[in-house]
Each structure stands twice: as structure tokens, then as C-alpha cells.
Structure 1
Amino acid sequence: MTARHYLELVNFFSRSLRDRDAAADVVQESYSRVLAMRQPETVLDLRALLYRIGKNIVIDDARARQAEQRMLDTLGLISADSAPSPEREADARQQCRRLAARLAVMPRKRREAFILVRIYGFSHAESALHLATTVAAIEKHIVRAVCDLFDLATLRTA
């Protein structure tokens, strides 16, 4: 595999991201993913594959930022309308990491219910359908998740 498409890809993603360094990171990650494939030499159109992987990386990153903003909004730490100080934003992100760590150790159904309802905005009925359970079970999972996550005394010291 050669780097002959590198400059073309960086230029393309620079225009869409408006950040040449971020574009270079996307392209590098695209090449890394191709190299991690079991048989990259069997790819028929390397250029097309690199573009597709790069676009997927950009989309995944945007989704992650949106989900993070929704989580911060849900927690009331930072709103999209405000311009928080760097200290407040750093504190909010640190609390967000703590919450993510707490979510990671939560029982799977409880974590999934909380994420669907509080982060993605699903209704309890939609979440119940998605998780193949009852609305009452979703409500219990949400209550327990909130109790697990928002124990303020331990949240700030965790």
C-alpha cells in the first residue's frame, strides 16, 4: 500500500473539517484501519475505501461529540447556549468521564436503558421496545441508574 492518495485525502477532509491537522489525523487513522485489515492487498479500490473509512471516522466523531453534549446538557453542566469558562468546561468533562466509568460497571440492561432515555432521548416505551422488555422495567432501570450515578456526595469525590 502506498501513500499516493494521502495529499488528496488530506485536502478533501481539510475542506470539510476546516482543520488541516484534524484532516491529517483522519487520513492517518484511515490508513491504519486499512493496514489492520486481514488482507488489505485484496482491496480493489484503495482510494474509495480510504474515503469511505475517513467519512465514517468523521461521522463517528460528530456523533460522539453530540452524545457528549447531550450528556452534559442532561447533567446540567454545560448548555449549548452558554459559553462556559475553560475551568467549568474542564470540570464538566471530568465529571462526564466519572459518569462514563460508573456507567461501565452498571448492569447491562440498566446502563442501556439509561443511555437510551437520558442520552439518546428515547421514550420509555421506545426503550422498552428496543430492549425487549416492559415500560415498568425501563422505569425501574432508570430510577436505579439515576441513584447509582447521581449520588452527589460520591460523584464529586470519585
Structure 2
Amino acid sequence: MRQGFTQHLGAIRRFFLKRAPVADVDDLVQDVAMRMHTRRADDPIANVEGYLFQTAHSVLADRGRRDSTRCRSSHDSLEEFHHPVEDRSPERVLEGKEQWSMLLAAMEDLPARTREAFVLHRFEEMQYAAIAGHMGISVSAVEKHIMRAIRRLADAIA
């Protein structure tokens, strides 16, 4: 699955560059990666490229829906201020890639229900009550799953 994603990474970036602000492209690509990563491994995909682009389209639609409910103009733009940007040294880039790999590995190690609750809350932006209904568990159980995930992921990249 990862190989299929990496093979089409450039095309997915170009897809988003044509349809979204440049500042959002990396986040959108990451959302596609997270959806692919959290997908059930026992359900094979016949057409990986088609599935990736359908996922990218869904991510873009979800972002549009989410942004339409928020008043983005009320937020200050960082472009209005001059902030020196830290240079991306090769060491810093490598460190970021290593942390990303550790985070993905830690997510794979999470119990399935914990990972599902975490992804639904953090990436699908579902409320605890909605997650509880979706998973057939109590809100308290959802809170515990999410806290467990956060602790384990923080420990993994610390």
C-alpha cells in the first residue's frame, strides 16, 4: 500500500496544487497518507491509483466542507508579518522524516479500536459522542482510547 502511495505521490501533489492553495497542499497530501495508512489491510485494492485519487478528491471535499463552516477571514494571516523562517538543513529534514516514520510505526502498533477512535477524532474531526455512536461504545471509552493513543504517539516521537 505504501509503495502505491509513494509511486503516485507526485501526481497527488499536482492534483492538489491545481485545486487548493499551495499552503494547504502538504496537509492535504498528509491527510491522504493517513487515510491510506488507517485503511484495513485485509481489504485489497484492485486499482491503487484510482483509489488514491478518489481518496484525494474526498479529502479535498472534506476540507472544503470544513472550511465553509469556519470563518477563515477572522484568522490573522502569517504572511502579513515578517517571521524569519528556519532554514531546512539536511539534518532537520532527516529528523522530520525519522519522526514521521516513528509516528506511522506507532500508529500501526496502536490497538485497532484505539487507532480508529483517534483517527475519527483527529483526522475526520468527529466529536466524541459521534465516535461513541459509530463505534458502539460509551463517550468515556472514546476519551480513554484517544488519551491512550496520544500518550503512545507522544512517547514514540519523544
TM-score where L is the length of structure 1: 0.45
Computing the radius of gyration from Cα coordinates, the structure with the larger value is: 1
Q: Which has the higher contact order (CA 8 A, sep 6+)?
A: 2
